[in-house]
Structure 1
């Protein structure tokens, strides 16, 4: 006899939630997978219809299944053989089809163990989750896999000239082909927006501002061999680690250095004390992000082309004020030396990245207020134990409440890329099954 279909409620049906439901079903555990739309398995990253948006990780590392590392490439060979290069970067749209295909295959192989439900979860309760229509979905455990929220820097869209959520449907369609744009944020979201604009025939100019003025680096033409981290790099005080990292990057290559650190980054974060984590977030995070989360080679080349053509300019500073009217947008900003000449354009796009704020989120803020959850010391997100269980006000893990994927960044730091999430999926699956057996 199978367990009740509502045994685990998974809030969020993107990659993290969908692949957790699949893994649980393969282990004989039922779940209800709840998503705001019927596009299960896609989330923001893989719902893009634009084939110019490529994966940031080579296809050979993008299996959704930890113990079947070639699963995605095998699927590509059967369905899109022209893309089946393990060292290539497939379109994200195609990867979304792969995730959906895996979910459907598991559903077919394990009938009645995955229930899909389209709805908006408005509250996490002790007996399960409450939907916007007032109904309760009973569950012995809840997993929050809500993905990345929209940016928050530019406000809530008080002007039509300010695109506060660049991923909103048809957000870029208002921009004419020769309009200039201001972009706040110079990371991966900026790159995605510029690619999509160019794909629509846009040939205007972009002025992009961030605190460091750094843009993501690109992968090399071929995979880089990992450099074995030294003892100093792993155990010394942070300042000595940084010095060692710079020396290794100079002598052996920064890509090789990052490849060596990639599999153990989450473990190093877990072992770090609060003071070390605070220094990383405050001083090193921008540099880490642009080297760790790289662009497909061809996309890196496209960004360099735009810069050489004078169509992409990077500015280093902080936003001071944003004003807009029917004609355009004006951005006042400051750099380290003080005031800078304002930037003006037809549109402003907020590309500052996910606006994680667990204490302001309508789903998690009540959990914090009630004491069932708490923020981590750096206020990056909910505080979790090594299994991903939410810690209450007293620091005790809640065996019925988990967080998976990007919202778990406070505990694991590296929790947005597929290779990292699939490892966490197996950990959460094991914990849920163990707790079920004990219960």
Structure 2
């Protein structure tokens, strides 16, 4: 073998996931005292390496939706981010004077982006000390070919080629794919990211804006606007109108008895068949009923087609008290969710996504109290409204027409697409590499 040969691993995507991969590769190489020469290629299509789209927002009002104490980028060290903030307290307090550094805080995402960048630099320096070659390439990989010698040839948008032994895909969440027919309209933003583009496009502070969706991404788009003094009407335009629920200030411990991995495996053994979504629903209901003095009326738990503000105010009260039982159960399941998901067959996973996911998401992927209070204030002021029965969207040449299922219409000067990431490779308009790989298989 060529004495100058280095085993080469390519990481495609240099956001938080790609950075975590690099950290682990460098750390394992150093800890295991490897001697095989190693080269790491880190590809990123944007100029900045580390934060990625999620944590490079540039807007202080965009908060983490998960507590700082769970956000350590080093696997198994959930408090690592908090420890880093304490180590950099002086600089952080100067830049973010209102931030409380604690495991229960929700720091700005841009601060977490600074943390990821710092970790990338720290482990790049560590790699250099151990003769690991790291090359950062600002380019997008659009194709990959498996060669006869079992290596990969990667091709970029700049028509460069790179040879490597292994490839790790860390391309991040794909952009929304819905409403491609409006992509060439200046008044239609295909994504809330980057937030700078939103502010450059919607300069009229009195303009009416429709945001497609009502989940975390829609809330980010809303905060981008109102944090920059937008005064016009803003409407969430979605099929369900369901807002994420509000997280308690401190996580409430919960001791599960039924919705556990041992009980799920027992269910599979006793029924002598694969796990079904209905089994999970039954165990969840049993868990809830065990901890409530009165058996809940499940029929009234449905949150669709209800006035949003009273629901949000009730959620805020439960967050202050830590009394959201559904949320407490799901948070306690944090480490079991992926193993449970693996037990579901493909058809049951699809059933979960179409049947349960909207209600699971609003409880599991919730918002900090600060954002909940901000939403409630905007609803009370009348600047924000939420439509949960959307049907269609049209452009009449001057403005957007929002059609509801009951036949009524609303209008908007601008639309921001926050409908969520594309879920099939065919729909991933911003992921050319994944499309190419799928076609090759």
The TM-score bracket by the shorter chain reads 0.7 to 0.9
The answer for unaligned runs of 5 or more in structure 2 is 30-37, 94-98, 147-151, 268-275, 293-324
Q: Aligned partners of 1:181 and 1:98: how far apart in 2? A: 33
- Asked whether 1:185 is paired with 2:205, we answer no
Contact 1:5 1:31 in 2 (8 A): no
Q: Give 2:110's aligned residue.
A: 93
RMSD between superposed Cα atoms in Å? 2.3
Query: 1:357-372 alignment to 2 at 5 Å?
Result: 357-360=424-427, 361-371=431-441
Query: 1:338-357 alignment to 2 at 5 Å?
Result: 339-357=406-424
Aligned-residue offset at 1:229: 4.8
Q: Aligned partners of 2:24 and 2:361: how far apart in 1? A: 29
Aligned-residue offset at 1:5: 5.5
Q: Give 2:317's aligned residue.
A: none
When residues 129 and 324 of structure 1 are mapped into structure 2, their CA distance, relative to the original with a 3 A threshold, is farther
- Asked whether 1:239 is paired with 2:278, we answer yes
Q: Give 2:230's aligned residue.
A: 202
Picking from 199, 205, 217, the partner of 1:172 is 199
Which one is further off, 93-102 or 276-285?
276-285
Q: Give 1:7's aligned residue.
A: 8
The answer for unaligned runs of 5 or more in structure 1 is 372-439
Which one is further off, 98-107 or 249-258?
249-258
Aligned-residue offset at 1:224: 1.9
When residues 226 and 113 of structure 1 are mapped into structure 2, their CA distance, relative to the original with a 3 A threshold, is farther
3-state SS of the aligned residue for 1:117?
A: strand
Query: 1:27-426 alignment to 2 at 5 Å?
Result: 27-28=28-29, 29-79=38-88, 80=92, 83-111=100-128, 112-126=132-146, 127-155=152-180, 156-168=182-194, 169-175=196-202, 176-230=204-258, 234=264, 236=267, 237-249=276-288, 251=291, 253-325=325-397, 327-334=398-405, 339-360=406-427, 361-371=431-441
Aligned-residue offset at 1:139: 0.7
Contact 2:187 2:415 in 1 (8 A): yes
Contact 2:211 2:236 in 1 (8 A): yes
Q: Aligned partners of 1:138 and 1:229: how far apart in 2? A: 51
**Structure 1 residues 1-31: Cα deviation after superposition (integer angstroms, max 9, x where no partner):** 9995661111111111112112111222531
With structure 2 as the length reference, what TM-score do the two structures score? 0.78
With structure 1 as the length reference, what TM-score do the two structures score? 0.78
Aligned-residue offset at 1:302: 0.9
3-state SS of the aligned residue for 2:237?
A: strand
Q: Aligned partners of 1:226 and 1:145: how far apart in 2? A: 34
**Structure 1 residues 394-426: Cα deviation after superposition (integer angstroms, max 9, x where no partner):** xxxxxxxxxxxxxxxxxxxxxxxxxxxxxxxxx
